[in-house]
């Protein structure tokens, strides 16, 4: 039993998976697509990863505006959540992801990752931050 974390963007989806004890999140991959609306292969890859890692729940980053309103990107995330639910049959948890990409970029800079390489890793690291935040909150509640 594992939980998957996703950072859904216009052309990429960062993917993270929890360990079996639901304590830590590890980055798995960044799924890339050429057009924002072309999601069939993206959804198929996510379903395949869910089966491979025996995922029982998906945490999807919910990019609210800083004033807590729901903008265009958040609306697209809600639509993506519905597609994920239909494709995988798993429960989808929307998780506030404000500033996770900023935090991921800062972490990569501090780690000495060159500017041209950061784009390759930032979404996967953001997915780790989303999932880790969820796992930490879940452990406090239990």
What is the DSSP track for the chain?
A: -EEEEEEE-SSEEEEEEE-TTSS-EEEEEEEE-SSTT--HHHHHHHHHHHHHTTEEEEEEEE---TTS---HHHHHHHHHHHHHHHHH---EEEEE-TTHHHHHHHHHHHTT--HHHHHHHHHHHHHHHHHHHHHHHHHHH-
Per-residue model confidence as pLDDT tens digits over 50-94: 999 999 999 999 988 788 888 888 899 999 999 999 999 999 999
CATH of the domain at 90: 3.30.420.140
What domain range includes position 87?
A: 2-141
Mean pLDDT of the 30-58 span: 93
Q: pLDDT by residue (tens digit) across 82-124?
A: 999 999 999 999 998 876 777 777 887 888 878 877 777 788 8
Please tell me the total count of domains within the chain: 1
């Amino acid at each position: 039993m594992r939980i998957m974390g996703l950072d859904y963007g216009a052309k990429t989806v960062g993917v993270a998976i929890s360990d079996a004890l639901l304590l830590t999140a590890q980055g798995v991959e960044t799924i890339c697509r050429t057009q924002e609306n072309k999601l069939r292969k993206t959804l198929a890859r996510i379903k395949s990863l869910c089966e491979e890692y025996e995922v029982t729940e998906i945490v999807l980053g919910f990019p609210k505006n800083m004033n807590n309103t729901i903008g265009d990107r958040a609306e697209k995330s809600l639509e993506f959540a519905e597609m994920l639910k239909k494709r995988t049959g798993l429960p989808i948890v929307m998780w506030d992801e404000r500033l996770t990409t900023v935090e991921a970029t800062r972490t990569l800079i501090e780690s000495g990752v060159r500017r041209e390489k950061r784009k390759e890793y930032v979404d996967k690291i953001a997915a780790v931050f989303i999932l880790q935040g969820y796992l930490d909150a879940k452990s406090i509640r239990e």
